[in-house]
Amino acid sequence: MSGASGAPYGITIVQSLLSQGFTVHLLVTEAGWRVLKEEQGWDATRRPATLEEHFGGYPGKLKHHPMSDIGAGIASGSFRTEGMVIVPCSMGTLAAVANGLSDNLLERAADVMLKEARPLLLVPRETPLHAVHLENMLKLTQLGARLIPAMPAFYHGPQSLQDMVNFMAGKVLDAMRVEHELYRRWGATEDETT
């Protein structure tokens, strides 16, 4: 999670993966912690306890890595993962990944995904976009990353803000080929969510 608005998207994705028994390696930038505080009221001064409060009790396993731990397993191509999602993704993080910068563990792990040709998904949250944003997005897609901009839809009949968050989280899980029941798909009846 980096420092763009949209913390609920990341939270919902992590909780969905943990609820299905996945091991999730969580990275939160300093700006990401600020967003969690501002948008969700999370206490960034008690990080381990705060993460346990919101992500504990699921069948899956959460492994939180400090951003400065450049020697963490996920910084190596020999470490096996099924992919990586940066959600929300700031334009600064997107630019760093697009240009091969690895100043922290999140950027290094993303670079590993690209060099190992593993799934890398970015959920940028910015508007309006200028030419540099668009050039960096194009560069990333040409490198094999997938971009899933935070653009909620309305065809599924959202009744709440959480319904809109669930739609975006579901689109990310779809791109990861992870089953979920977060939203009603187009053409499905009300009781068919998958």
Residue 108 Cα distances to 4, 93, 97, 98, 181, angstroms: 19, 11, 8, 12, 32
Alpha-carbon distance of 75 to 82, in angstroms, equals 14
127 is in an annotated binding site: no
Query: What whole-number distance in Å separates Cα of residue 69 and Cα of residue 106?
Result: 10
Task: Dihedral sign for Cα 107, 87, 126, 66, please.
Answer: negative
Is 12 annotated in some ligand binding site? no
Single-letter amino acid, residue 119: P
Q: Has 155 been labeled as part of a binding site?
A: yes
Residue 63 counted as an annotated binding residue: no
**Where do we find the tokens 């396993």?**
61
Is 171 labelled a binding residue?
Answer: yes
Q: How many angstroms separate the Cα of 21 from the Cα of each of 61, 147, 184? A: 7, 25, 23
| Residue 80 annotated as part of some ligand binding site | no
| 5 among annotated binding-site residues | yes
Is 81 labeled as ligand-binding? no
Known binding residue 10? Answer is no
Residue 47 in marked binding region: no
* 92 labeled part of a ligand binding site: yes
Instruction: Could you list the residues known to form a binding site for FMN, using ranges.
Output: 3-5, 29, 90-93, 125
Residues annotated as binding site for dimethylallyl phosphate? 155, 171
Q: Which residues define the annotated binding site? A: 3-5, 29, 90-93, 125, 155, 171
